[in-house]
C-alpha cells in the first residue's frame, strides 16, 4: 500500500501513512486529525508559519475545485441520462425509425435554441 503525507497544521508535523481504508491519522503531539496532503513535496519548515498557512489555503482550494468539478460532472451525467430517456421515449412511441430520427432531430434543434430539456407533447 502506498504511503502519503499527513499533516497537522496546528503543530506543523507531518507523518507518512498508508492511504488504506480512509483511516484517520491523529497527530502524535496534539491528537487532532491530520489532513492527508497526498504527495505534496514542498513541506514547509516547522517555524515557517506563513508557508504552512499558504499550503493550507492551497490544499483547501484544490479540495474545493475537485468538489466543484465533481458536482458539474454529476449534473452533466444527469442531463445525458434525461436526454437518452427522452430519445428512448421518442423511439418507443414512433411508428418507425425514420419518424423517430426526425422527431429526435427536431427536439435537438429546439433545445439548441431554447435550452429546453423536456419533450414537446
Ligand atoms: Zn498536532
User: What is the pTM for the complete model shown?
Assistant: 0.64
How close is the Cα of 37 to the center of ligand 1, in Å?
Answer: 14
| pLDDT attached to residue 121 | 46
For the segment 37-96, what is each residue's pLDDT rounded down to a tens digit? 988 778 999 999 999 999 999 999 999 999 999 999 999 999 999 999 999 999 999 989
Instruction: Give the tens place of pLDDT for each residue, 14-34.
Output: 999 887 766 789 999 999 999
Percentage, residues of the chain above pLDDT 70: 90
Total number of residues shown for the chain: 121
Least Cα distance to 43 among 33, 26, 55, 35 occurs for 55
- For residue 48, report the distance from its CA to the centre of ligand 1, in Å: 15
CA of 33 to the centre of ligand 1 (A): 8
**Cβ partners under 8 Å of residue 84, min gap 6:** none
pLDDT of residue 39: 83
Amino acid at each position: 500500500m502506498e504511503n502519503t503525507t499527513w499533516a497537522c497544521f496546528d503543530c506543523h508535523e507531518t507523518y507518512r501513512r498508508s492511504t488504506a481504508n480512509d483511516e484517520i491519522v491523529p497527530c502524535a503531539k496534539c491528537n487532532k486529525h491530520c489532513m492527508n496532503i497526498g504527495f505534496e513535496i514542498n513541506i514547509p519548515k516547522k517555524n515557517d508559519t506563513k508557508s504552512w498557512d499558504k499550503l493550507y489555503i492551497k490544499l483547501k482550494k484544490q479540495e474545493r475545485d475537485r468538489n466543484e468539478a465533481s458536482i458539474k460532472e454529476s449534473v452533466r451525467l444527469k442531463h445525458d441520462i434525461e436526454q437518452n430517456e427522452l430519445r428512448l421515449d421518442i423511439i418507443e412511441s414512433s411508428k418507425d425509425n425514420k419518424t423517430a430520427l426526425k422527431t429526435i432531430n427536431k427536439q435537438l434543434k429546439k433545445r439548441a435554441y431554447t435550452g429546453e430539456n423536456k419533450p414537446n407533447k
